[in-house]
Copies of this chain bind each other. A is one copy, B any other.
Amino acid sequence: MTLKVYLCGEIHTDWREQIITGSKAAGLDIKFSSAVTIHEASDAAGDCLGQEQNGFWRDHKSAKINAIRTKTLIEQCDLAVIRFGEQYKQWNAAFDAGYCAALNKPYITLHSEALIHPLKEVDGSAQAWATTPEQVVEILAYLLSDQLS
């Protein structure tokens, strides 16, 4: 059993690296994926198709190109981990959670206690709520334990 895990959300801390490093250290058979996490590259994803004067359309073009990747990876994954930081709106992360929920695709949220109330709907459809990357690794290790030989 190889687990395909999509890592979604906050790009300002190293939570992805912590989960990946922790999983490798634990010898877990997992394929991780994510959106393009370089902020400037992501915002400029559509620029190659021509410059826009209107900020809305520049964002629109980039968002739709990014969605090719994110939708595909969400549909292919077995599990998503969706991270919310203390700052920023991060509506894309909540959007991806809703996308998972509608597809009956399991996801785990990763956020601090401070965000419990505003995230209650997102947590309500989640399979688990974790506060640290270590907890996520522990869950992943559990999910891959005790396999039939």
| Chain A residues engaging chain B, CB cutoff 8 angstroms | 1, 3, 7, 16, 20, 32-34, 36-38, 41, 45-46, 48-50, 52-57, 59-73, 78-79, 84, 88-104, 106, 108, 113, 115-125, 127-131, 135, 138-139, 142-143, 145-149
Contact = CB atoms under 8 A, between A and B. Distances in A.
The 4 closest A-B pairs by CB, nearest first: A98-B98, A63-B124, A102-B102, A94-B94
Contacts of A53: 53
Contact of A124 (B41, B50, B60, B139): B60
Nearest to A3: B72
Nearest to A145: B36
Contact of A1 (B33, B93, B94, B106): B33
A125 to B, nearest CB: 7
Given A67-B124, A68-B127, A7 B95 contact: no
A76 to B, nearest CB: 8
A72 B104 CA distance: 10
A108 B46 CA distance: 12
B98 A102 contact: yes
